[in-house]
Amino acid sequence: MLKSLDRNLNKLYKFSGYVAAFFLILVAVFILIGISSRIFGFYIRGLAEYSGYCMAAASFFALAYTFVEGGHIRITLFLEKLSGAKKKFIETWCLSIASFFSGYLAFYFIKMLIISYKFQERSEGADEILIWIPQSSVAIGSTIFFISVFHQFILTAKRIK
């Protein structure tokens, strides 16, 4: 059962990476539309805001995939100098701290999303979009990141025994 859960979580992280890539493509599309609209003399409201929302979504959806693939800055330079039980202990300790802070981050992004939804808060841009819509991608991405860090913590703690 744990292998199945591990496999499904890795699929979730990969899917999160694909979603991040999709949002990066949308950033490029919105920027190209904005440039071409200026060239042809018409203006589309909110393109700068939408590209910003897509960049935030891409950044947060990419966190889990990048973490699992080893792309984040880690303490590997320090860990390479250690060996045996010390290395496993320090790695587990670091992942426990990272789990705490990523969980804290996800909790408060979800809380922010709920408050924005409850008050129907709108953006201050020209389009006045409901702000909970772009915030939902940040909350989901940070939650998937927390799951990936905690997943790695569990795997590392399991290896110690």
Q: In whole angstroms, what is the distance from residue 31 CA to residue 37 CA?
A: 10
Closest CA to 68 of 106, 23, 110, 15: 15
**pLDDT value of residue 69:** 87
Angle, alpha carbons 145-68-84 (nearest 5°): 115
What confidence score (pLDDT) does residue 62 get? 95
Place of tokens 């408060």: 108
pLDDT of residue 107: 97
Give the whole-angstrom CA distance, residue 98 versus residue 85: 20
Helix H, strand E, coil C: the string for 93-127 is HHHHHHHHHHHHHHHHHHHHHHHHHHHCCECCCCC
**Which pLDDT does position 116 carry in this prediction?**
94
Q: Report pLDDT for 12.
A: 95
pLDDT < 50 regions, the chain: none
Give pLDDT, residue 106: 97
